[in-house]
Structure 1
Amino acid sequence: MPVYSMTGYASAQHSAAATSPEPDSKGPAPMRIGLEIRSVNSRFLDLTFRLPEELRPHEPALRELLSAQLKRGKVEVRAALESAAASPLPDPSPRLLQRLNALQDSIQAWLPDAPPLSVADVIRLSAPEGRADCDWSQGLMALAGTTLQALLAAREREGARLATMLLGHLAQLRELTRQAGPLVPLVVEQQRNRFLQRWRDAMALTDGTALPEAAQDRALTEATAFAIRIDVAEELTRLASHLDEIERLLTKGGEVGKRLDFLIQELHREANTLGSKSAALELTHISVDMKVLIEQMREQVQNIE
Structure 2
Amino acid sequence: MTGETHRTAAADDALNSMTGFGRAEGALGAARWTWELRSVNGKGLDVRLRLPGGLESIETQAREIVSRRLSRGNVSANLSYQRGQGDLVPQVNETGLNAVLTSLEAIRAHVPDAAPVALEAILAQKGVIDWKEPEEDETEREALETALLESLGEALNALCAMRASEGRAIETVLRGQLATIADLTQQAEDAPCRSLDAIRARLSAQVAALMETGAGLDPARLHQEAALLATKADIREELDRLVAHVAAARALLDKGGPVGRRFDFLAQEFNREANTLCSKSNGTELTAIGLELKTVIDQMREQIQNLE
TM-score, with normalisation over the residues of structure 2?
Answer: 0.76
1:70 aligns with 2:92: no
1:140 aligns with 2:142: no
1:16-95 matched pairs, under 5 angstroms = 16-17=28-29, 30-83=30-83
Shift of 1:14: 0.4
Aligned to 2:9: none
The one of 155, 158, 162 equivalent to 1:154 is 162
RMSD across aligned positions (CA): 3.3
1:181 is paired with a residue whose SS is helix
1:168 aligns with 2:176: yes
1:129 is paired with a residue whose SS is strand
The one-letter code matched in structure 2 to 1:129 is W
The one-letter code matched in structure 1 to 2:266 is L
The one-letter code matched in structure 1 to 2:183 is E
Shift of 1:46: 0.7
What do the CA deviations read for 1:95-148 (whole angstroms, capped 9, x no partner)? 89x959x69x99xxxxxxxxxxxxxxxxxx9xx937677742111111111111
Aligned to 1:202: 210
> Can you give the 5+ residue segments of structure 1 that lack an aligned partner in the other structure?
18-29, 86-90, 107-124
Q: Is the 8 A contact 1:11 1:147 kept in 2?
A: yes
Aligned to 1:111: none
Change beyond 3 A, Cα 1:287–1:31: same
Aligned to 1:279: 282
2:162 is paired with a residue whose SS is helix
Q: Is the 8 A contact 1:35 1:143 kept in 2?
A: yes
Q: Is the 8 A contact 2:235 2:277 kept in 1?
A: yes
The one of 167, 186, 189 equivalent to 1:181 is 189
Q: Is the 8 A contact 1:187 1:280 kept in 2?
A: no
Change beyond 3 A, Cα 1:158–1:190: same
Q: Is the 8 A contact 1:188 1:227 kept in 2?
A: no
2:214 is paired with a residue whose SS is helix
Aligned to 1:112: none
The one of 128, 131, 146 equivalent to 1:129 is 131
CA distance in 2 between counterparts of 1:278 and 1:81 reads: 64
Change beyond 3 A, Cα 1:43–1:188: farther
What do the CA deviations read for 1:159-193 (whole angstroms, capped 9, x no partner)? 11111110010111111111110116636643443
Which stretch shifts more, 142-151 or 243-252?
142-151
1:12 is paired with a residue whose SS is strand
Change beyond 3 A, Cα 1:227–1:32: same
Q: Is the 8 A contact 1:192 1:223 kept in 2?
A: no
CA distance in 1 between counterparts of 2:192 and 2:259 reads: 33
Q: Is the 8 A contact 2:181 2:293 kept in 1?
A: yes
Shift of 1:44: 1.0
Q: Is the 8 A contact 2:193 2:283 kept in 1?
A: no
Which stretch shifts more, 187-196 or 133-142?
187-196
CA distance in 1 between counterparts of 2:226 and 2:196 reads: 9
1:249 aligns with 2:252: yes
Change beyond 3 A, Cα 1:51–1:188: farther
Counting aligned pairs with the same residue, the percent is 37
Shift of 1:261: 0.6
CA distance in 2 between counterparts of 1:225 and 1:55 reads: 73
Q: Is the 8 A contact 1:188 1:231 kept in 2?
A: no
What do the CA deviations read for 1:219-238 (whole angstroms, capped 9, x no partner)? 33222211111111210110
Which stretch shifts more, 191-200 or 220-229?
191-200
Shift of 1:201: 2.9
Residue correspondences, number: 264
Deviant stretches of 4+, over 6 Å: 130-134
Shift of 1:203: 2.4
The one-letter code matched in structure 1 to 2:15 is V
1:265 aligns with 2:268: yes
Change beyond 3 A, Cα 1:283–1:185: closer
